[in-house]
Chains A and B, each alone.
Chain A
């Protein structure tokens, strides 16, 4: 049972902008811990998409952006493309658990 909640699915037409929320609490995101986002294409390993709340690794298009406020974080995908059809997970850290890393529940993005 994850402590970070994401919507199960979001969808959009090519070219549109979609956002994915990641809702936590005062012991994780609200405590100021870094938030990261991962993209998982079907049958593949996850790939780091955003690190440190709002930073893109080399090679990740600037269509992807991250933000954080209070106990929540968000991933925005602008100019949606067919290859963005994938699962997306947020990840942070929690001070109340034995073992620190926590993943979000995951969101399936469907490009219509």
Chain B
């Protein structure tokens, strides 16, 4: 079945970096993109950016530009999201989601989420 499996819980100190992985299975990885979405405790969904698994084309949300890097590894069907210079308000659950092609189909498959806690 189509699924996205994310890496495990992370605990980081302020100023550090975190890299979350998202392994896809059950579909042809390069025919879709991957969006990253985060949710702070008790808050709504926040889109962070999108990466094409086909050509590596990227869109980052303005709030994260300069601090986030999204990549894909087609040899392992895995997407990665690295967030640098972590702050306490980066504490959240981070989700990857299959997204595309285009805008018609939405984010139709989601990973289970990765909890990132930033604390000194």
Find out whether the CB atom of B108 lies under 8 angstroms from the CB atom of A51.
Answer: yes
Find out whether the CB atom of A52 lies under 8 angstroms from the CB atom of B46.
Answer: no
Flag whether A101 is at the interface (Cβ < 8 A): yes
Flag whether B31 is at the interface (Cβ < 8 A): no
Find out whether the CB atom of B113 lies under 8 angstroms from the CB atom of A101.
Answer: no
A interface residues (Cβ-Cβ under 8 A, vs B): 2, 33-34, 36, 38, 40, 45-48, 51-52, 57, 89, 91, 93, 97-106
B interface residues (Cβ-Cβ under 8 A, vs A): 35, 37, 44-47, 49-50, 59-62, 65, 95, 97, 103-108, 110-113
Find out whether the CB atom of A106 lies under 8 angstroms from the CB atom of B44.
Answer: yes
Given contacts A48-B108, A51-B106, A103-B37, 10 further A-B contacts (CB under 8 A): A38-B106, A46-B95, A46-B110, A48-B106, A52-B104, A91-B47, A91-B107, A97-B61, A97-B62, A99-B49
Closest to B107 in A: A48
